[in-house]
């Protein structure tokens, strides 16, 4: 039986596979891409040229990506009458690694997020968003160079999962009646006019995310993993995230880590001096410190004391807010990349942190760096580090030359504003 109902199978290229937890990447891997809505076509066009040029330059034609266009969002709806064709999910399941532009989600009604649907359907449980500063990028803070964090955002649960019912509906009446009559809930302030959303947070979901964050931190020699939560208020979801996070750290990583839960136990038994001493010894021994902070305090501390934070592990909605807030400190979401990954199956969809920026659609104006750097993450994920390094080098040079898109140009003295496509061309020129 044919693999696809709507698409033709790619005629060139080979499948990326996974064996014993390790990706096997052929020289001509088939990589599905989704162009995206709004500014998606502009930034994707620039990104594809840059990624192809980096691979060509790094491997002199020996390696080349076999791009395979798959559809989602407005283009899918116009072409096939459906927002997210099953074929698109099949393609990503089959070829393992994909990259996408942003997709529109209407507010307050209409279709549910296709971005979230892709993450849920493919169980891409970790949303990984590195935030670093490139010298010369305009920033609202005095020391943007101190921001060097990698956010691990849980990607499959939380209030973000989309389990909710609108005010006045038959469904919401049933849920509210159940809560009031069977669960003894008396705290719904306006039951007649409330919509209800549900926030599932599980031990499995938390621990696979925190495990991925700790493994990443250990592999890359990072100093700490911070669990960011609002566990003082949402005790059994966000508070449990913190407890389960410490549990997986201690049970699975043993003496490679020192946790603040351990610190608290030593403090309770032997006093604060002994706890401080134990933490200092752990730091001196190069152990990874696993700590936690309440989300609102974290948002002010990343502005005031960013050097104290490194890898961040957090829940879905917190991670969404933190991604954009941190990106602002290093120049904005125009340069904020990301990946949605299942570290067990190897499935990964790379995408920018930002959305479709609809007011700029078709103007060839916005910054393509976010999707280009998502592609750079993808190349690294494939093990094509030489090509990835070329992109970083080109990005550093192009920004240092002050030839930048509108978002940087408006805040940079003496900058020359270039179009989205021109920025892509400059990156290619600056790879040499």
Ligand X SMILES: O=C(O)CCC(=O)C(=O)O
Ligand Y SMILES: NC(=O)C1=CN([C@@H]2O[C@H](COP(=O)(O)OP(=O)(O)OC[C@H]3O[C@@H](n4cnc5c(N)ncnc54)[C@H](OP(=O)(O)O)[C@@H]3O)[C@@H](O)[C@H]2O)C=CC1
Mark the binding-site residues for Mg(2+), compressed into ranges: 320
**Is the CB of 162 or the CB of 166 nearer to ligand X?**
162
The interface partner of residue 238, options being ligand X, Mg ion, ligand Y, none and the CB cut-off 5 to 8 Å by kind, is none
- Active-site annotation holder among 7, 71, 125, 160: 160
Question: What CA–CA distance (Å, rounded) separates 280 from 152?
Answer: 26
Question: What CA–CA distance (Å, rounded) separates 357 from 368?
Answer: 12
* 398 touches 427 (CB < 8 A): yes
* 406 touches 417 (CB < 8 A): yes
74 contacts Mg ion (rule: CB under 5 A): no
Question: What CA–CA distance (Å, rounded) separates 238 from 145?
Answer: 30
* 230 catalytically annotated: yes
Report the binding-site residues for D-threo-isocitrate.
113, 115, 119, 129, 153
* 296 touches 230 (CB < 8 A): yes
**Beta bridge partner(s), residue 224:** 289
The interface partner of residue 356, options being ligand X, Mg ion, ligand Y, none and the CB cut-off 5 to 8 Å by kind, is ligand Y
**Is the CB of 157 or the CB of 320 nearer to Mg ion?**
320
Count of C-beta atoms within a 10 Å radius of residue 132: 17
* 327 touches 333 (CB < 8 A): yes
Query: Site for ligand X (CB under 6 A): which residue of 158, 320, 364, 376?
Result: 320
- Active-site annotation holder among 174, 296, 321, 416: 296
Nearest-approach distance from CB 333 to ligand X, in angstroms:
9
* 287 catalytically annotated: no
Nearest-approach distance from CB 160 to ligand X, in angstroms:
8
What x-and-dash track marks residues 100-129 binding ligand X by CB under 6 A?
A: -----x-------x-xx-------------
**Is the CB of 275 or the CB of 333 nearer to ligand Y?**
333
Please give the distance of CA 416 from its chain centroid, rounded to a whole number.
Answer: 30
* 320 catalytically annotated: yes
- Active-site annotation holder among 230, 287, 291, 365: 230
Report 355-374 residues binding ligand X (CB under 6 A). 355
Nearest-approach distance from CB 284 to ligand X, in angstroms:
38
Question: What CA–CA distance (Å, rounded) separates 168 from 231?
Answer: 30
Report 322-341 residues binding ligand X (CB under 6 A). 323
The DSSP secondary structure of 219-288, one letter per residue, reads: HTT-SEEEEEE-TTTSIIIIIHHHHHHHHHHHHHHGGGEEEHHHHHHHHHHH-HHHHHHHHHHHHHTTPE
320 contacts Mg ion (rule: CB under 5 A): yes
Nearest-approach distance from CB 320 to Mg ion, in angstroms:
4
Question: What CA–CA distance (Å, rounded) separates 318 from 148?
Answer: 18
Classify residue 109 as exposed, middle or buried by CB count within 10 Å of its CB (0-12, 13-18, 19+).
exposed
Residues that bind ligand Y (CB under 6 A): 39, 43, 102-105, 115, 332-334, 351, 354-358, 366-367, 370, 407
* 413 catalytically annotated: no
Nearest-approach distance from CB 355 to Mg ion, in angstroms:
7
Q: Which residues bind ligand X (CB under 6 A)?
A: 105, 113, 115-116, 320, 323, 353, 355
Positions marked active-site: 160, 230, 296, 320
Q: Which residues bind Mg ion (CB under 5 A)?
A: 320
């Amino acid at each position: 039986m044919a693999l696809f109902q709507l698409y033709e199978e790619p005629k060139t290229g080979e499948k990326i596979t996974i064996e014993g937890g390790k990706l096997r990447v052929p020289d001509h891997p088939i990589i599905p891409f989704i162009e995206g809505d709004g500014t998606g076509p502009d930034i994707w066009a620039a990104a594809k040229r840059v990624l192809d040029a980096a691979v060509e330059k790094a491997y002199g034609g020996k390696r080349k990506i076999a791009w395979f266009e798959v559809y989602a969002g407005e283009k899918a709806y116009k072409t096939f009458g459906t927002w997210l064709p099953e074929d698109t999910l099949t393609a990503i399941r089959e070829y393992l690694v994909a990259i996408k532009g942003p997709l529109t989600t209407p507010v307050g009604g209409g279709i549910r997020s296709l971005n979230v649907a892709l993450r849920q359907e493919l169980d891409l449980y970790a949303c990984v968003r590195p935030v670093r500063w490139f010298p010369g990028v305009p920033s609202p803070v005095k020391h943007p160079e101190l921001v060097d964090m990698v956010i691990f955002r849980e990607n499959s649960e939380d209030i973000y999962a989309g389990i909710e019912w609108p005010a006045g509906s038959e469904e919401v009446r049933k849920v509210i009646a159940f809560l009031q009559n069977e669960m003894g809930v008396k705290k719904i302030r306006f039951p007649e006019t409330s919509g209800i959303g549900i926030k599932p947070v599980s031990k499995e979901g938390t621990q696979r995310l925190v495990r991925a964050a700790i493994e990443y931190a250990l592999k890359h020699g990072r100093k700490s993993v911070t669990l960011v939560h609002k566990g003082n208020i949402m005790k059994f979801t966000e508070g449990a995230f913190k407890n389960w996070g410490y549990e997986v750290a201690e049970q699975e990583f043993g003496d490679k880590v020192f946790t603040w839960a351990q610190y608290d136990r030593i403090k309770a038994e032997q006093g604060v001096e002994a706890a401080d001493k134990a933490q200092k010894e752990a730091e001196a021994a190069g152990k990874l410190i696993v700590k936690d902070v309440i989300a609102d305090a974290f948002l002010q501390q990343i502005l005031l004391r960013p050097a104290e934070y490194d890898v961040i592990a957090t829940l879905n909605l917190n991670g969404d807010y933190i991604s954009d807030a941190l990106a602002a400190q290093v120049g904005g979401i125009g340069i904020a990349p990301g990946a949605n990954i299942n570290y067990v199956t190897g499935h990964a969809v790379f995408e920018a942190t930002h959305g479709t920026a609809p007011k700029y659609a078709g103007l060839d104006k916005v910054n393509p760096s976010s999707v280009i750097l998502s592609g750079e993450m993808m190349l690294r994920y494939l093990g094509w580090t030489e090509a990835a390094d070329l992109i970083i080098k080109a990005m550093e040079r192009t920004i240092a030359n002050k030839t930048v898109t509108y978002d940087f140009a408006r805040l940079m003295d003496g900058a020359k504003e270039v179009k989205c496509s021109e920025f892509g061309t400059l990156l290619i020129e600056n790879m040499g």
